[in-house]
Structure 1
Amino acid sequence: MIEMKVAGIALDAITRSPIVLLKDGSDRRALPIYIGQEQAKAIIGALEGQKPPRPLTHDLLNNLLETWEMRLERVIIHSLQDNTFYAVLCLSQGEVKKEVDCRPSDAIALALRTDSPIWVMEEVVADASIPVDREADEEERQAFRNFVANLRPEDFTERGRSSPNES
């Protein structure tokens, strides 16, 4: 799994649909997730630290967690099927741990309010992310090509072999 942070909300240039953009810790990959207008407002509100006069839905959920002494340990975006992302809330109450299915947008909005980490399965990142730093990606590919080009057969045999004096 890869921990990601919310980079912000963008609008699709053609459809004008909101997109929440998650970035990995190295800022090398970004994961765009299309969301609804209300979820975009909820995420922006959390990013900006807005406190509504009355609790909105995600604030209400946060209040329920606090009242029942539950903790959102993390959010996991675990799969992508037919262009739909799937997520779970990983909750704990004392020693009891539960996972609750939810939309990624709601999970992200709640994670921001509870300062909980957002994790994404590597397969999802591989399937749906976009490169942010193409130059760094190319440098990494070139370094790997150089590494492979300089490998020798004895590099493989020396690592696994132990000396006769070792037991």
Structure 2
Amino acid sequence: MIEMKVAGIAIDAVSHNPIVLLRDTTDRRALPIWIGEAEAKAIVNALDPKPLARPMTHDLIMNIIDGWSANLERVVIHALKNSTFYALLTITYGEVRKEIDARPSDAIALALRARCPIWVMEEVILEASIPVDQDADEAERRAFREFLSNLRPEDFAKGPKLGN
């Protein structure tokens, strides 16, 4: 799993739908997830909180979690099937841990409020992320190719003998 942070909300130029953009902690990969307008507002409200007269839905959910002395431990975006992302909320209450299915947009809005980590499975990153720092990616590929080209058979030492 790769930890991701919310980089912000953007608007798709073609469909005009909101996109939440996640970035890995090294700023090398970005994961765009198309979301609804209400969820985009919930994420923006969590990124830049302003006092509201009444709690919104995600605030209400966090109030319930807090009211029961439970903890939103983490969010995991674990799958991408037919262009739909799937997420899990991990909620703990004492020694009890439950994983609850959620839409990624709702999970992200809650994670921001709970200040808990957002993780994405490597398979999802490989399938749906976009490079952010292509120069760093290319430098890493060149360094790895150079490392491989300089390997010799004697670089692979024999391991210790087991037994007598």
> By the TM > 0.5 criterion, same fold?
yes
Cα offset, 1:162, TM superposition: 2.5
The CA deviation string for residues 41-77 of structure 1, in whole angstroms up to 9 with x for no partner, is 0000000022321000000000000111110000000
How many residues are treated as equivalent by the alignment? 164
Structure 2, gaps ≥5 residues long:
none
Amino acid at match of 2:123: E
The structural deviation recorded for 1:153 is 1.1
RMSD: 1.4
Taking the aligned partners of 1:86 and 1:163, their CA distance within structure 2 comes to 48
Letter paired with 1:138: E
Alignment match, 1:71: 71
SS at match of 1:13: coil
Q: Output the CA distance in 1 between the equivalents of 2:2 and 2:127.
A: 13
Query: How big is each residue's C-alpha offset from its partner over 1:119-160, in whole Å with a ceiling of 9 and x where there is no partner?
Result: 00011011100000000000000001001111111112x1x4
In structure 2, distance between residues paired with 1:147 and 1:13:
42
State how 1:104-123 maps to structure 2 within 5 Å. Answer: 104-123=104-123
Structure 1 residue 42 and structure 2 residue 45: aligned? no
Match of 2:16 in 1: 16
State the 4+ residue runs in structure 1 displaced beyond 4 angstroms: none
Specify the alignment match of 2:100 in structure 1: 100
- What one-letter code is carried by the residue in structure 1 that aligns with 2:129? S
Q: Secondary structure at the match of 2:26?
A: coil
CA deviations 1:90-122 (Å, max 9, x no partner) are: 000000000000000000000000101000001
State TM-score, norm by structure 2: 0.96
Measure how far apart 1:163 and its partner are.
Answer: 7.4
Aligned mates of 1:122, 1:25 — CA distance in 2: 14
SS in 1 for 2:15: coil
User: What amino acid sits opposite 2:42 in the alignment?
Assistant: A
SS in 2 for 1:61: helix
Q: Give the gaps of 5 or more residues in structure 1.
A: none
% identity of equivalent residues: 61
2:143 paired with 1:143: yes
Give SS of 1:65's match.
helix
* Aligned equivalents of 1:98, 1:163: Cα separation in 2: 46
